[in-house]
Amino acid sequence: ADQALRGDREVVQAAVEQNGRALEFASPELRADRDVALAAVQRDSGALDFAAEELHRDQDIASAALLGSLSPDQVAPGLRSNRELLLAAMRRSAIAFELASDELRSDRLFQLAAVQRNALVLEMLPRELRADRDFMLQVVKGNGFALKYAAPELRAQRELVTAAVSQDGRAVEYASYELREELSAPPAPAPETAMQPEAACRDGGRSELSAGESCAQVQAEAAIWEVVGGGALGGIVVRKGEDPLSEAMLRLAQGATVRELKRVGERLQFEKLSGEGPEAGWVSIAVNGKAMLKRA
């Protein structure tokens, strides 16, 4: 090319925007110009070969060259082993993980750092890592959205799901069905202070007892509950037995009312009075601090 044109910034800029490798024919001064070199590399990652050596260490230029490469073979060895550059590039595209050197891709700390920057990297890791509880717990503490790619059995583990949701509330969408219900339920009402028997009766709607009537009778009459949880999931979980892991039944719809038959801690045996759902069974009054039922 004509010497004058090789040093003309506007001409060279226009040329590299059409063909990044035209940078090869620019003057040494323009090959050391950051804006010109960046435009060339964004057009063709191979243009990095013609940029001034000091620009190879520029993160934006190196990242553009890295992400513009079609395969690891096209990436300079120095870029494939540049941990900081690769991790920075992963915030823009998970493809950067595939371009890393074999040594880095098999390094557990690098894998963890990569996934915390871009959850899509998990799809490029071995299936056993997505089922590794310790690894995934570390991952979701830094990137809750990564719960989406965890093995199904891990998406049902409370500690891991809670850590993910604490980091990114959207992660609740990827929790197991029951944990999603628990974590999506409205907050339980604040616990009331212990009441004297007479106060408990008043709480049931009676300010005084009739002749021959006991407080226990009043409380039994008042033990009606309304379902307030599980609205987004079609109702709350009903079990056949007191054990929360016993066989599941159809759900009890939000708004249904039930009569208390027996209560063991936060587990309630009921018979249905109104609404959609099983006629009888066991449910949780509150789950993970969030109300499923409230006194009607």
Q: Determine if the pTM surpasses 0.95.
A: no
CA-to-CA distance for 71 and 114, rounded, in angstroms?
19
60 closest CA partner among 30, 40, 31, 81: 40
Q: Which of 268, 261, 262, 223 is nearest to 244 (CA)?
A: 268
Q: Are residues 228 and 290 in the same domain?
A: yes
Q: Are residues 291 and 228 in the same domain?
A: yes
Same domain, 229 and 289: yes
What pLDDT score does 96 carry?
Answer: 84
Per-residue pLDDT at 186: 57
What CA–CA distance (Å, rounded) separates 31 from 40? 10
Tokens representing 220 are 């039994």
Same domain, 231 and 286: yes
At 56, list the tokens. Answer: 């190879």
- pLDDT confidence of residue 204: 43
pLDDT tens string, the chain, 296 residues long: the values are 577 888 888 898 899 888 888 988 899 999 999 999 888 888 887 788 888 888 877 777 777 777 765 455 556 667 788 888 888 888 878 888 988 889 999 999 999 999 988 889 998 898 899 999 999 999 999 899 999 999 999 999 999 999 999 999 889 999 998 888 887 765 555 554 444 444 444 444 444 445 555 555 544 455 899 999 887 777 888 988 888 777 878 889 999 999 999 888 888 999 999 989 999 999 999 876 788 999 87
Which of 137, 157, 185 is the last residue before a domain boundary?
A: 185
CATH of the domain at 265: 2.30.30
The predicted pLDDT at position 41 comes to 83
Q: Is residue 191 part of a domain?
A: no
Domain membership flag for residue 193: no
Helices and strands in the chain: count of H runs, count of E runs: 16, 7
Provide the pLDDT for residue 72: 59
The token pair that represents 264 in the structure block: 């063991």
Length of the chain counted residue by residue: 296
Domain assignment present for 290: yes
Cα–Cα dist 79/59, whole Å: 10
- Domain extent for 130: 126-185
* Domain annotation covers residue 198: no
Asked if 97 and 89 count as a contact pair (C-beta separation under 8 A), the reply is no
Among residues 165, 164, 105, 100, which one has the least CA distance to residue 129? 105
Residue 40 lies in a domain: no
Give the pLDDT score at 195.
44
In contact, 188 and 180? CB cutoff 8 Å? no
Tell me, yes or no, whether 270 lies in a domain: yes
Identify whether 234 is part of a domain.
yes
> Burial code of 19-46, b = ≥16 C-beta within 10 A, e = fewer?
ebebbbbbbeebbebeebbbbbbbbbbb
Backbone angles phi, psi at 61, to 5 degrees: -70, -45
* Domain's final residue, options 185, 204, 235: 185
Q: Is residue 205 part of a domain?
A: no
Q: Tell me: do 178 and 233 sit in the same domain.
A: no
Tally of structural domains, the chain: 2
Which burial class, exposed, middle or buried, applies to 265 when counting CB atoms under 10 A from its CB (0-12, 13-18, 19+)?
exposed
Statement to judge: residues 175 and 230 lie in one domain: no
Q: Residue 249: exposed, middle, or buried by beta-carbon count in 10 A (0-12, 13-18, 19+)?
A: middle
